[in-house]
């Protein structure tokens, strides 16, 4: 079985490895670099920069830990960027060596369908190569969406791609959009000393997250002196000698050195020759697929950002595995019932499943349990006491329906609840599990106990 994967991001490269492990003869066509957006422009560069910002914050607060600093602390942005490039290149090399070890052929260039079983690759040196195949997995991902009235110029009006290769820390930054990407960059640059303003059309930052998480993030922004303007749009941006002038829908004007547009992602389905082979696309560029991740054309699968839904690396990889299994004849359906998400603001956010407002909209009968990081000895020991745990369970069956954690290591902590949800466990099951002390996981235990009003370390209600 010959399988060709178009795009080497977390959707494509994971699909390729899975298919190779199942014995297929696999070719990956990639026009830029393996690892895709996630590894080269998204998850890994941003989290590496955030690690430097965290180190800076810790160093600035060393006195709180009883440590005298005889000298000054300041970010060296050139070295921070070099470290980021090094981390990215280690990951890229890792994928390339996995490809080698599993006998996957990497063809570097831009691929276009010429038939359902033929892909023409235009290589970087201008030459063309035809790849013949039996099945194809499309994993071409997405790119930053711009605003047509003030498009990216890479210098003053920048995308998230430009933001991870900046030459210097901007003195001031206007971020349009307080979604995941905008909010992460707001915290990151605030830590580096940039004067950050965030403008968001919706009434809250991270508006699709649980309402308590999103409201708490608004408070954290205020504590950090990040200016957050909600319910407003940016109508015009003009360049002037003193900086970029952004005009808001309420008539206000903001001046900043740079404007980061973080208003969403455009899906990469145009220019692939899909119309030639009859693969349907939706009006927003999304490629519709069935539960086997197969498009309307048999033998052509699509995974990752390009199929829409949650634009997350691990969701792309999970879909890649399902597509590879089906392409190799192992019938499998994609299960989206438990997809945890991590947001690397400061503090971090981890979430899975139902949001409380969703339960209210659907008229669901739920119980919630809460606990706070400030109630944990470990959080005090770490000097990080902001944030909370929230568990949502069905009021009748006690089955866990969702969890939202905001605080240190929330992105790791959330997985205890994700596994419990996947196993169909009840809040009482977590509450009945001994948790090691002193750990942050004790917050999940206490929040689960609180679902039944039985948290040991909460005062009588």
Ligand X SMILES: Cc1cc2nc3c(=O)[nH]c(=O)nc-3n(C[C@H](O)[C@H](O)[C@H](O)COP(=O)(O)OP(=O)(O)OC[C@H]3O[C@@H](n4cnc5c(N)ncnc54)[C@H](O)[C@@H]3O)c2cc1C
Residues 94, 96, 98, 104: what is their CA dihedral angle, to the nearest 10 degrees?
Answer: 170
Give yes or no for residue 209 binding ligand X (CB under 6 A): no
Least distance to ligand X from the beta carbon of 187, Å? 13
Using CB under 6 A as the binding criterion, the count of chain residues that bind ligand X stands at 37
Residue 423: closest CA among 322, 334, 332, 337: 337
Question: Token pair of 69, please?
Answer: 């600093």
Give yes or no for residue 43 binding ligand X (CB under 6 A): yes
406 - beta bridge partners? 349, 388
Would you say 113 and 277 are in contact if contact means Cβ atoms under 8 Å apart?
A: yes
> Which one of the spans 81-89, 90-98, 299-307, 326-334 is the region binding ligand X (CB under 6 A)?
299-307
Q: Which x/- pattern, by CB under 6 A, does the window 90-119 give for ligand X? A: --------------------xx--------
- By beta-carbon proximity to ligand X, the closer residue of 43 and 246 is 43
Query: Which strands form 157-158's sheet, in the order they lie side by side?
Result: 157-158, 258-261, 172-176, 195-200, 227-230
265 - beta bridge partners? 144
Q: Which x/- pattern, by CB under 6 A, does the window 337-366 give for ligand X? A: -------x----------------------
- By beta-carbon proximity to ligand X, the closer residue of 144 and 402 is 144
Residue 92 CB coordination number (10 Å): 17
Count Cβ neighbours within 10 Å for each residue of 2-20 and write b for 16 or more, e otherwise: ebbbbbbbbbbbbbbbbbb
Give yes or no for residue 36 binding ligand X (CB under 6 A): yes
> Which one of the spans 25-33, 69-77, 285-293, 366-374 is the region binding ligand X (CB under 6 A)?
25-33
In angstroms, the Cα distances linking 202 to 85, 229, 253, 260, 409 are: 34, 10, 19, 17, 27
Tell me, yes or no, if 415 is annotated catalytic. Answer: no
Residue 20: closest CA among 101, 80, 136, 77: 101
Query: Which of 3, 4, 5, 8 contacts ligand X by CB under 6 A?
Result: 8
Which helix (H) or strand (E) segment holds residue 17: the answer is helix 10-21
Q: How far is CA 38 from the centre of its chain?
A: 8
Query: Which of 7, 116, 179, 182 contacts ligand X by CB under 6 A?
Result: 7
Give yes or no for residue 29 binding ligand X (CB under 6 A): yes
- By beta-carbon proximity to ligand X, the closer residue of 106 and 440 is 106
- By beta-carbon proximity to ligand X, the closer residue of 216 and 411 is 411
Least distance to ligand X from the beta carbon of 9, Å? 2
For the chain, give the longest Cα–Cα distance: 74
Using CB under 6 A as the binding rule, the residues of this chain from 304 to 323 that contact ligand X are 304-306, 311-314, 316
Q: Would you tell me which residues interact with ligand X (CB under 6 A)?
A: 6-12, 29-32, 36-38, 41-43, 46, 110-111, 139-142, 160, 181, 268, 272, 304-306, 311-314, 316, 344
Tell me which residues are annotated as active site. Answer: 437
């Amino acid at each position: 079985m010959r399988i060709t994967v178009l795009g080497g991001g977390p959707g494509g490269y994971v699909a390729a490895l899975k298919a190779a492990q199942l014995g297929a003869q696999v070719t990956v066509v990639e026009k830029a670099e393996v690892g895709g957006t996630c590894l080269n422009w998204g998850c890994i560069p941003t989290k590496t920069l955030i690690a430097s910002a965290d180190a800076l914050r810790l160093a600035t607060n060393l006195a709180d830990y009883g440590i005298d600093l005889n000298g000054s602390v300041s970010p060296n942005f050139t070295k921070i960027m070099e470290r980021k490039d090094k981390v990215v290149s280690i990951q890229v090399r890792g994928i390339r060596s996995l490809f080698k070890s599993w006998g996957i052929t990497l063809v570097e260039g831009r691929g276009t369908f010429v038939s359902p079983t033929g892909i023409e690759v235009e290589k970087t040196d201008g030459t063309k190569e035809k790849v013949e195949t039996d099945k194809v997995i499309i994993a071409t991902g997405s790119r930053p969406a711009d605003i047509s009235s003030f498009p990216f110029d890479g210098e003053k009006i920048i995308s998230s791609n430009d933001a991870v290769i900046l030459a210097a820390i901007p003195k001031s930054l206007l971020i349009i959009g307080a979604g995941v990407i905008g909010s992460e960059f707001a915290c990151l640059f605030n830590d580096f000393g940039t004067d950050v303003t965030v403008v968001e059309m919706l009434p809250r930052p991270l508006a699709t997250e649980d309402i308590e998480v999103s409201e708490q993030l608004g408070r954290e922004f205020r504590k950090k002196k990040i200016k957050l303007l909600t319910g407003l749009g940016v109508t015009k941006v003009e360049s002037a000698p003193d900086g970029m002038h952004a005009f808001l829908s309420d008539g206000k004007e903001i001046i900043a050195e740079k404007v980061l547009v973080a208003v969403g992602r455009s899906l990469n389905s145009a220019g692939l020759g899909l119309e030639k082979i009859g693969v349907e696309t939706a009006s927003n560029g999304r490629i519709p697929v069935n539960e086997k991740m197969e498009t309307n054309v048999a033998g052509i699968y699509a995974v990752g950002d390009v199929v829409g839904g949650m634009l997350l690396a691990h969701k792309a990889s999970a879909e890649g595995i399902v597509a590879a299994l089906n392409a190799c004849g192992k019938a499998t359906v994609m299960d989206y019932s438990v997809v945890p998400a991590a947001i690397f603001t400061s503090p971090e956010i981890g979430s899975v499943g139902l949001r409380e407002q969703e339960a209210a909209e659907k008229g669901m009968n739920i119980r919630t349990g809460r606990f706070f990081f400030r109630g944990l000895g470990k959080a005090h020991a770490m000097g990080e006491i902001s944030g909370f745990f929230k568990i949502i369970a069905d009021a009748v069956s006690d089955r866990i329906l969702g969890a939202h954690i905001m605080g240190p290591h929330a992105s790791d902590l959330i997985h205890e609840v994700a596994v419990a949800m996947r196993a169909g466990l009840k809040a009482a099951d977590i509450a009945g599990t001994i948790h090691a002390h002193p750990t942050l996981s004790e917050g999940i235990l206490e929040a689960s106990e609180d679902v039944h009003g039985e948290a040991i370390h909460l005062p009588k209600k």
